Amino acid sequence: MKTVIIHGQSHKGSTCHIARMLADKIGGETTEFFLPKDFGEFCCGCTRCFVESETKCPHYDKLAAITQTINEVDVIILASPVYVYHTTGAMKAFLDHYGYRWMVHRPEEKMFNKQGVCISTAAGGGMKSTNKDMAYSLFHWGVAKIYKFGIGVAAIDWNRVSEKKKRRINRATDSIAKRIRQRQGGEKPGLKTKGFFFLMHLLQKNGWNEADVRYWKEKGWTGKARPWKKSRKGE
């Protein structure tokens, strides 16, 4: 099994430790990227990814290594500490660059057979809204199964986290890793994702954006084909 961790900051604190702990329990090969070190560009709002091609994005080449890894892995972990009750600016800027991959535009079909995890920590609160920031993108990418784990660690670094908190984190990561391993190879999106995809299927039959309409027709999605029905052996 292959996992990628996208860290919302370069500091290796509690969020980083928990993400790595989960990846170790999932097993297999893990690749990590740290933002903004590995990608720190802001979307400039040129809209070329939407109306022409993602390759026209001025940051396409800088993002290519992360995009390729996301396409190849089985599990995507988005990990961000809480910054003013939301994800870090670096994580937000990163996710902004994948707007063209939302189901309303041109989703990557491989996403519909993947699992995703959103992890957040704070000294106090804000984990729910931070995880929601990241999970929103995973859902619109089409990721089949999304898990969320947030915890107030009551500390500013991992070494100061209490043993009681660490035991709770250990149990939670055990549970998530177990569910991920059990689902591996049989991931299919739930009714909410399928329902949203169907609405987009209707929209793209006579869509306004030529790049999107052409993409959906080439995939056969305006007809009866669906991305989650594609055999994984053919990937």
Work out the number of other CB atoms within 10 angstroms of the CB of residue 189. 23
Work out the number of other CB atoms within 10 angstroms of the CB of residue 224. 8
Q: Which residues pair with 149 in a beta bridge?
A: 119
Mean pLDDT over residues 123-133, rounded?
A: 96
Q: What is the mean pLDDT of the chain?
A: 95
At residue 161, the pLDDT reads 95
- What's the pTM value of the predicted model, to 2 decimals? 0.95
Mean pLDDT over residues 103-115, rounded?
A: 97
**What does the pLDDT look like over 161-213, one tens digit per residue?**
999 999 999 999 999 999 999 998 878 899 999 999 999 999 999 999 999 99
**Full set of structural domains in the chain with CATH:** 2-188 (3.40.50.360)
Mean pLDDT over residues 92-107, rounded?
A: 98
Decide the pairing of beta strands 29-34 and 75-81: unpaired
How far apart CA 93 and CA 36 sit, in angstroms, is: 9
**What does the pLDDT look like over 41-62, one tens digit per residue?**
999 999 999 999 999 999 999 9
